[in-house]
A and B are shown apart, each in its own frame.
Chain A
Amino acid sequence: MVKRTSGTDNMTKLHTQKSQQNGPPQKPSFLKVLQKSSLSFLAMAPLLLGTIGLVGLFQVLVTPKMLASLFRGNPLFDTLIGTLSGAVAVGNPIVSYLIGGELLNHGISLYAVSAFLLSWITLGFTQLPAEVEVFGGRFTLYRNILAFIFAMITAVLTTLTVQVLS
């Protein structure tokens, strides 16, 4: 029985022959892939260095004392302030625990402290330009609005649940 070959089969054969002539299609070596990844990372160096530069500036200009002075003792207002100040503040999350602990000791509500702890990590004014550059304006806007709203909702729910449980 004679097997009929279609145009596609011929094309495949031609492609295979060509591949054999040029050698089999090889998977790039790990070194090559690593080089490519390093280059993509290097391309982002100005963006990352700029963000780190902003982090340094904010760490000097926005002090923990300054943040603590913003709270007024009103749970609702303080939750909003907690979210905003957490977004402006920069640094290791441990610092947010230290400040949060101090705020609790000074009578600031758990609503505000929870919102502060959450927004410290999920929101960040210093990384906004970089986020826009990498993910686009629309994505950054939506993500930050969602993170802002959810920081407050989570803070309220956490405080209410802790109050019920204790």
Chain B
Amino acid sequence: MKKPDKPFAFRGKYIFLVVLVLYGLFFLVNSESALLALQKSSAVLTKILPIFVVVILFTATLNYFIKPKQIARHLGHKSGTKGWFWALAAGVISHGPMYAWYPLLDDLRSHGMKDEYIVVFFASRAIKIPLLPIMIDYFGLTFTIVLSFYMLLGALIQGLCMQILTPVNGK
């Protein structure tokens, strides 16, 4: 049976309100710095808007072409080895700040994506392919290769640790 759609409700209203209050207080204490913080936030928002568009399009494309059952098969409890590598590859490829990917991951999780894969995704995001040349320039080729290798290995081990910490149906 098809699950009924969740009614529309804003999430994080209180977080937003707390941040508004913080800005209000900051304006009272130091209006110049508060304005600067607001400008920096606006700059961040402008910069990541294209990523939000990509995330929305990606979520829609996934939901259109892939059924929840298929998502569960590739990223769910019976996905096997391939699920780990999907999560690892997705983390390495993903761009932008971590929180920009929360809506997509939330959607995939509701379709059966395992928590350990989310951990692998977040951990492997430490590798930024477009920034590798800059990293090599700053820290050298050996450092970059060794760090990237350990980051990938660490991401998988973190996923395994999460699997141990949160057994199936243990949520």
Contact = CB atoms under 8 A, between A and B. Distances in A.
Interface residues of A, number: 66
Nearest to A129: B15
Contacts of A43: 8-11
A88 interface: no
Contacts of A130: 12, 15, 99, 102
A138 interface: yes
A125 interface: no
Interface string A5-49: 000000000000000000000001010011011111101111111
Main secondary structure on A side of the interface with B: helix
B157 interface: yes
A151 B151 CA distance: 9
B50 interface: no
A130 B97 CA distance: 13
B44 A101 contact: no
Contacts of B97: 55, 127
A143 B93 CA distance: 20
A158 B60 CA distance: 39
Interface in A40-93: 40-41, 43-57, 59-61, 93
B36 interface: yes
Interface in B107-142: 107, 109, 115, 118-119, 122-123, 125-126, 128, 131, 134-135, 138-139, 142
Interface string A105-123: 0000010011001100110
Contacts of A153: 154
Given A56-B38, A97-B138, A38 B15 contact: no
Contacts of A54: 19, 22
Interface of A: 28, 30, 33-34, 36-41, 43-57, 59-61, 93-94, 97-98, 100-101, 104, 110, 113-114, 117-118, 121-122, 124, 127, 129-131, 133-136, 138-139, 142-143, 146-147, 150, 153-154, 157-158, 161-162, 165-166
Q: Which 8 A-B pairs have the closest CB atoms?
A: A47-B12, A56-B41, A46-B16, A50-B15, A37-B60, A53-B19, A50-B16, A56-B40
Given A40-B106, A101-B139, A124-B98, 5 more contacts: A56-B39, A110-B143, A122-B126, A154-B154, A162-B143
16 contacts: A36-B5, A37-B63, A40-B59, A41-B103, A45-B10, A47-B102, A51-B99, A55-B97, A56-B40, A59-B40, A97-B138, A130-B99, A135-B118, A138-B171, A146-B119, A154-B147
